[in-house]
Copies of this chain bind each other. A is one copy, B any other.
C-alpha cells in the first residue's frame, strides 16, 4: 500500500494565473454517550456529538503577499458525527425564515456554518469578511471551563435571550487589532441583515459587536458590547415561534465581561453578562476553573441566568457542572461531565437541548461520557 502526496491546486480559471498554494485540512470528531433526565419531563439516552469540543471539518490556508501582508481563507463545516448530518447556518441574522418547514430529519447537508471567511492582514491588523463568531459570544466561551460544549455549557449561554447573533453572524465585516500591542487585543464586527430598504423591518439582523481585552502572564480580562436591530413586530412574531427569547421588544443587546487568572495549579475564570431583548433584561454570571491533574484536567463551574420579565416573576436557572478530561495524547482525549440545572420562578431550562425540558421549576441533570479526536 503506497502513499503519495496531495498536490495542491493551481487555479486554471479563465483570466486567473496559476500560483503555488497550500491548504490545511483539519477537524474534530467528538462522540459522547449522553444521558439527560428532566424532572417531570422526558429523559433520554443517546449517542451525540461535541461533548468536549465541537465536531468539525475545515479547510484553511494563508498566502504571504510580501511586505508584511497576507491573505487567508477559512471554511469550516459543523458536523453531527453520531448520524452524519451537517448543520444549518443563518443567511440573514434573522429568524424570519422559520415560516418554512424545517428540513426532514436526516436531510440537512453540510454547510460552512461554523465559519466561512476571507481575510486580508498586515501590520495594521486583519479585515475579515463572511460568517464568523460574534465578539459578544467570545467572552462566554473563552471564560467558560467547559468551552460552551456538552452538558456543562455555561447557563449564561444556554438560557440566553438574544437570538440569531448570540453565537455567530453572517454577512459580517470584522476588524482585528494586530497581535503586538503589548497585551492589548480587540476586534470590531459589523454584520448586515440585508433586507430591502422599502420594508418596515429593513434593519432587522443588522448590528455590531466589539471586544477589547488585556492579557499578560497569568492574567486575561476582556469586555464585549453589542447591539443587533430588530423591529418590535418582528421580535414579537419570532418570539411566538420560539425564535427570540420569550418576550416582545425591539433591539437586542448582548454584553459581558470576563477574566481568568492562571495560578499554575489551577486556572480560575469567571464572567458576568447583561443582555436585553427590547424591554426585557437578563443578567448572568459564571465562576469556575480548570485544575490540571497529571495527563488530565478537572473542570468545574457554577453559572446562573435570570430573565427580568416585565410580567413579574423573573425565571432563573442555575447550573452546577463538574467534569474530567483525560488526555490520551494531544489529539485524543476521553472525558466525562455531570451537570445539574435548578430552575426557579417558572424557568424550565434543560441541561442540554433536543431532549425535552423539565416542568416549570423542575430540575434537569445530564451526563456525558465521550471521546474527542482531532486531526
Question: In chain A, residues 71-121, which have Cβ atoms closer than 8 Å to a Cβ of chain B?
Answer: 71-73, 75, 77, 79-86, 88-92, 96-98, 100-118, 120
A33 within 8 A of B: yes
Question: In chain A, residues 1-51, which have Cβ atoms closer than 8 Å to a Cβ of chain B?
Answer: 1-11, 13-31, 33, 41-48
6 A-B interface contacts by CB (under 8 A): A3-B8, A42-B199, A63-B332, A82-B129, A83-B90, A83-B116
A17, B330: Cβ atoms closer than 8 Å: yes
A192 within 8 A of B: yes
Q: How many copies of this chain?
A: 3
B31, A130: Cβ atoms closer than 8 Å: yes
Question: In chain A, residues 181-197, which have Cβ atoms closer than 8 Å to a Cβ of chain B?
Answer: 192, 194-197
User: Nearest chain-B residue to A6 (Cβ)?
Assistant: B6
B81, A118: Cβ atoms closer than 8 Å: yes
A172 within 8 A of B: yes
B105, A46: Cβ atoms closer than 8 Å: no
A46, B82: Cβ atoms closer than 8 Å: no
A30, B84: Cβ atoms closer than 8 Å: no
A171 within 8 A of B: yes
From B13, B30, B79, contact of A28 by CB (8 A): B13
Other A-B contacts than A7-B23, A44-B197, A63-B331, 15 sampled, CB-CB below 8 A, are A5-B8, A5-B22, A19-B331, A19-B374, A29-B75, A46-B171, A48-B171, A71-B329, A73-B373, A88-B107, A97-B105, A101-B101, A110-B110, A129-B371, A196-B356
Which of A54-62, A244-252, A311-319 is found at the contact surface with chain B?
A54-62
Which of A4, A101, A131 has the most chain B CB within a 10 Å cutoff?
A4
Q: Shortest distance in angstroms between A235's beta carbon and chain B's nearest beta carbon? A: 18
Q: Shortest distance in angstroms between A72's beta carbon and chain B's nearest beta carbon? A: 7
Q: Shortest distance in angstroms between A65's beta carbon and chain B's nearest beta carbon? A: 5
Which of A86, A332, A371 has the most chain B CB within a 10 Å cutoff?
A332
B19, A329: Cβ atoms closer than 8 Å: yes
**Neighbouring B residues of A109 by C-beta, 8 Å:** 86, 107-111
**Neighbouring B residues of A147 by C-beta, 8 Å:** 13-15
B113, A84: Cβ atoms closer than 8 Å: yes
